[in-house]
């Protein structure tokens, strides 16, 4: 190779190197431009996504506001405008199918007019259903029945009568679920009086099924409000029921119109068939929430009875348990709510969304997910309440103007006595060292929490207390050891003295009957007259105690009650003060 050719080759190489460098520079520029474009697109996408999320959240809030305000018609209209999809549309579709099926079934029975083909969309069937709920309340009853002689109904109780009579007019059954204390029993008396006035001598009888502990109360209320109506109480031992059946129930000439019995009697081998052979106007179940299990024996037995109508009474709020709710509705209206699976399909969606959001989700995305879950739950709850509206009547005390003094609640913190504090330290020390203190059977205490509760209620009831030790303890106050050694009883003693001087009458509740024993002894020591009711009280004793306490000018100052036995079905309106020995 000559020098000249070598020089020419070097020039070619330089050109190639320059071309390569230029190529890489151009490629880098292109990559940079692409990166900028990609970054710009990402930023644009993020901004569009942010705006989309903001719009979704805003629309979600607007829909939720309508749901919370129970403006379902406006809500459905807004859903139609915003074209919501997915689970929300599915939920609305499911519940709409429910209304259409129910409207169709009631139309076939003549309760509702035949569905108008023009009522398309989600609003049509729901509007017809709401019209039914409204019509149930529109029965024109201006005054309480003349047969109802025990007093004057409150306006809301007269509304309750209108609702129950409206159910009769429409061939429906229902649940009277007023809060405890609003007089469900009296409203039932009004219904009985209304039906007897309307039907005359040919009116069918009423079967009222109640817990055994409430028979006496029902008999007393029937005697007070319907003194001219013949009533049979079908309870007691088998021999007594046999006598009642042959001497009273079978003798139609006696003209009885109301029969009160118990759950247990109704499920009796002989009693059930006897009572199921009678054609009843109404079967009324007190504490009706006991039928929430569709397979329970009481539910099964009652289905064999023939009655024009069924009515459940309960002061317990209906829970959002779909299967339990279906059980009650199926008992009341088996031709409407015939399938558990279908009801579960309509309302079984919990509205719960899977929590797939990762930790990197933006606050807006997390908020949207939360709002969607809440909206789905509210849709289910609102539509379910809409379905129940014709069949369930529930009023709360705060929504009714009863013109009674406002309830005052006072919590008194009671310091422990020195002896209670010592027993508590002894128990804790024994647990910490895993052995007992000398002479103290800490190892025998299995339920520590229960023992602490017992000490706080009264130390003499504790397993750590040595019997008779209270007499050897130095008590500074002049009170007996039973009072001085218990902080709670020492406070209660002063409270009762003030209430007694002011002319009040009290109900004292406790979850422990042993505490009632102590209180009973204390009232005796103070010379206060008392009544007592707990799980060991017979139905006859229960009725006698209530009658003694409520009697005009009764000298009884205090009524001792266990929470379980005295918490339901008692009318103790002559007391004005309730004392709970344990905050609940």
Q: What tens-digit pLDDT sequence spans the chain (584 residues)? A: 555 555 556 667 777 777 787 788 888 888 888 888 888 888 788 777 777 667 666 766 777 777 677 666 777 666 666 655 566 667 777 777 777 777 777 777 666 665 554 455 556 666 777 777 777 776 778 889 989 988 899 999 999 999 999 899 888 899 999 988 888 999 999 999 999 998 877 789 999 999 887 888 898 899 999 999 999 999 888 899 899 989 888 877 678 899 999 988 888 888 888 998 999 999 999 988 878 777 788 888 888 888 999 999 988 766 667 778 888 888 888 888 888 788 777 776 544 444 444 444 555 555 555 555 666 777 777 777 778 888 889 988 888 877 777 778 888 887 777 777 777 777 777 655 554 444 445 555 556 777 777 777 777 777 666 675 666 665 555 666 676 677 787 788 888 989 998 989 999 888 888 888 888 888 888 888 999 988 788 777 887 888 888 888 889 899 998 887 776 667 788 888 898 887 54
Q: What pLDDT, on the 0 to 100 scale, is given for residue 179?
A: 87
Q: Which residues contact 347 (CB under 8 A, 6 or more apart)?
A: 94, 95, 98, 322, 380, 383, 384, 387
**Structural contact between residues 186 and 145, judged by C-beta atoms closer than 8 angstroms:** no
| Ordered alpha helix ranges (H), 84-228 | 86-108, 121-136, 155-170, 184-199, 215-225
**Structural contact between residues 286 and 569, judged by C-beta atoms closer than 8 angstroms:** yes
Q: What is the token pair recorded at 352?
A: 């719960």
Distance between CA atoms of residues 337 and 380, nearest Å? 17
Q: How many residues can be counted in the chain?
A: 584
Q: What pLDDT, on the 0 to 100 scale, is given for residue 142?
A: 85
* pTM (predicted TM-score): 0.73
Q: What pLDDT, on the 0 to 100 scale, is given for residue 533?
A: 87
**Structural contact between residues 82 and 55, judged by C-beta atoms closer than 8 angstroms:** no
**Structural contact between residues 230 and 255, judged by C-beta atoms closer than 8 angstroms:** yes
The distance from CA 409 to its chain's CA centroid, rounded to whole angstroms, is: 22
Distance between CA atoms of residues 100 and 107, nearest Å? 10
**Structural contact between residues 288 and 314, judged by C-beta atoms closer than 8 angstroms:** yes
Distance between CA atoms of residues 107 and 126, nearest Å? 14
């Amino acid at each position: 190779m000559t020098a000249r050719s070598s020089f020419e080759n070097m020039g070619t190489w330089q050109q190639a190197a320059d071309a390569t460098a230029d190529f890489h520079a151009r490629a880098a520029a292109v990559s940079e431009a692409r990166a900028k474009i990609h970054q710009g697109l990402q930023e644009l996408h993020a901004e569009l996504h942010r705006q989309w999320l903001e719009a979704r959240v805003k629309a979600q809030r607007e829909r939720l506001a309508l749901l919370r305000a129970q403006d379902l018609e406006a809500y459905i209209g807004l859903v139609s405008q915003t074209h919501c999809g997915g689970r929300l549309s599915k939920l609305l579709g499911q519940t709409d199918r429910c209304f259409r099926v129910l409207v169709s079934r009631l139309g076939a029975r003549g309760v509702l007019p035949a569905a108008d083909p023009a009522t398309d969309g989600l609003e049509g069937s729901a509007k017809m259903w709401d019209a039914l709920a409204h019509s149930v309340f529109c029965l024109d009853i201006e005054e309480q029945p003349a047969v109802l002689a025990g007093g004057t109904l409150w306006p809301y109780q007269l509304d309750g009568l209108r609702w129950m009579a409206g159910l009769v007019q429409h061939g429906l059954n229902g649940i009277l679920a007023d809060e405890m204390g609003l007089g469900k029993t009296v409203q039932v008396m009004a219904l009985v009086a209304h039906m007897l006035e309307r039907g005359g001598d040919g009116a069918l009888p009423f079967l009222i099924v109640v817990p055994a502990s409430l028979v006496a109360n029902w008999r007393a209320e029937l005697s007070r409000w319907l003194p001219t109506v013949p009533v049979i109480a079908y309870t007691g031992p088998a021999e007594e029921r046999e006598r009642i059946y042959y001497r009273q129930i079978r003798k139609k000439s006696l003209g009885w119109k109301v029969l009160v019995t118990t759950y247990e009697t109704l499920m009796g081998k002989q009693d059930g068939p006897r009572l199921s052979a009678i054609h009843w106007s109404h079967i009324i179940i007190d504490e009706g929430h006991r039928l929430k299990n569709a397979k329970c024996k009481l539910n099964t037995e009652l289905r064999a009875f023939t009655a024009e109508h069924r009515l459940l009474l309960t002061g317990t709020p209906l829970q959002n348990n779909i299967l339990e709710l279906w059980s009650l509705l199926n008992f009341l209206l088996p031709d409407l709510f015939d399938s558990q699976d279908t009801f579960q399909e309509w309302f079984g969606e919990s509205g719960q969304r899977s929590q797939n959001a990762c930790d990197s989700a933006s606050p807006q995305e997390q908020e949207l997910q939360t709002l969607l879950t809440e909206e789905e739950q509210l849709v289910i709850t609102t539509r379910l309440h809409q379905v129940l509206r014709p069949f369930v009547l529930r009023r709360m005390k705060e929504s009714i103007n009863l013109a009674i003094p406002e309830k005052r609640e006072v919590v008194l913190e009671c310091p422990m006595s020195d002896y209670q504090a010592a027993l508590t330290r002894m128990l804790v020390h024994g647990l910490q060292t895993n052995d007992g203190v000398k002479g103290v059977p800490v190892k025998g205490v299995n339920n520590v929490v229960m023992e602490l509760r017992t000490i706080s209620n009264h130390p003499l009831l504790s397993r750590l207390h040595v019997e008779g030790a209270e007499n050897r303890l130095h008590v500074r106050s002049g009170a007996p050891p039973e009072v001085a050694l218990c902080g709670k009883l020492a406070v209660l003693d002063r409270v009762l003295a003030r209430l007694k001087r002011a002319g009040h009458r009290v109900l004292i509740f406790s979850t422990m009957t042993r505490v009632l024993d102590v209180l009973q002894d204390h009232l005796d020591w103070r010379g206060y007259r008392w009544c007592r009711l707990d799980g060991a009280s017979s139905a006859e004793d229960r009725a006698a105690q209530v009658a003694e306490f409520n009697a005009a000018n009764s000298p009884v100052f205090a009524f001792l009650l266990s929470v379980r036995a005295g918490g339901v079905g008692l009318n103790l309106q002559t007391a004005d003060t309730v004392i709970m020995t344990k905050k609940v």
